Amino acid sequence: MTWKPRLRPQPEPAAPLDPETTQSLCARLEAAAQTRLGRSLAIRHVNTGSCNGCELEMRALSNVLYDLERFGLRFVDSPRHADVLLVTGPLTRNLRTALEQAWDATPDPKWVVAVGDCAVDGGVFKGSYAVLGGTGLSVPVDLTIGGCPPPPSRILAGLRTLLEANTR
C-alpha cells in the first residue's frame, strides 16, 4: 500500500488577466523601450576610393573622447548587418560594383551617408577619367557630411542626427 498525502500543496490555477491592463502596459513598455533601447544603428563603412583621410577621422570616432558606442552607434563587419552605409571617396570606376553590391546586400530600411567632399561630389578628383564623382551617382544618398576630411565631431553630429530622425 502506497502512502498518499491528503494535503498536497499545489498552486491554484491562475485567474485570467485583465486584458485592458495588459494592453496599456504593453503600449507603455513599447514606447519606453523604443526611446531607451531602440536608439541604435549598425554602420558599415564602404571605401569608394578615399585617400584614407576620412578613414582616419572615422577611426578617431572610436577613441575615448568621442566614444561612438555610447550613442548606440557601432561599426559592423558586413553590409548584411548594417543599417547605415558610410561611404567615403570620390567613387572610382573600379569600385562602383563593390558599392552597388554592398548596397544590395544591406537590408531595408537602410540609409546611405556620404562622408567627405569626395563622396559628396567627387571633391578635387572631379572630372578625372577614373572617377564617377560622388556616391549619389550610383546609390541614393540620404545625408551628406562635407569636409576634407570632416573632423570626427562633424561626422558624429551627422550620425546622431540620423539616429534622432530614425527614432521619431
Binding site for other proteins (CB under 8 A): 45-60, 62-66, 75-77, 79, 89-90, 92-96, 98, 102, 124-125, 127-131, 148-149, 151
Instruction: Tell me the closest approach of the beta carbon of residue 82 to other proteins, in angstroms.
Output: 11
Which residue's entry shows cell 498552486? 11
CB 80 within 8 A of CB 106: yes
Pick the closer one to other proteins by CB: 38 or 146. Answer: 146
CB 122 within 8 A of CB 51: no
CB 85 within 8 A of CB 115: no
Helix (H, G, I), strand (E, B) or coil at 155: helix
Pick the closer one to other proteins by CB: 40 or 47. Answer: 47
CB 133 within 8 A of CB 91: yes
Pick the closer one to other proteins by CB: 130 or 165. Answer: 130
Instruction: Tell me the closest approach of the beta carbon of residue 60 to other proteins, in angstroms.
Output: 6
Pick the closer one to other proteins by CB: 20 or 77. Answer: 77
Instruction: Tell me the closest approach of the beta carbon of residue 68 to other proteins, in angstroms.
Output: 11
Pick the closer one to other proteins by CB: 38 or 72. Answer: 72
CA dihedral sign, ordered 57, 58, 59, 60: positive
Distance CA 152, CA 66 (A): 8
Instruction: Tell me the closest approach of the beta carbon of residue 144 to other proteins, in angstroms.
Output: 19
Instruction: Tell me the closest approach of the beta carbon of residue 136 to other proteins, in angstroms.
Output: 18
Write b or e for each residue in 152-167: b if 16 or more Cβ atoms lie within 10 A of its Cβ, otherwise e: beebbebbbebbeeee
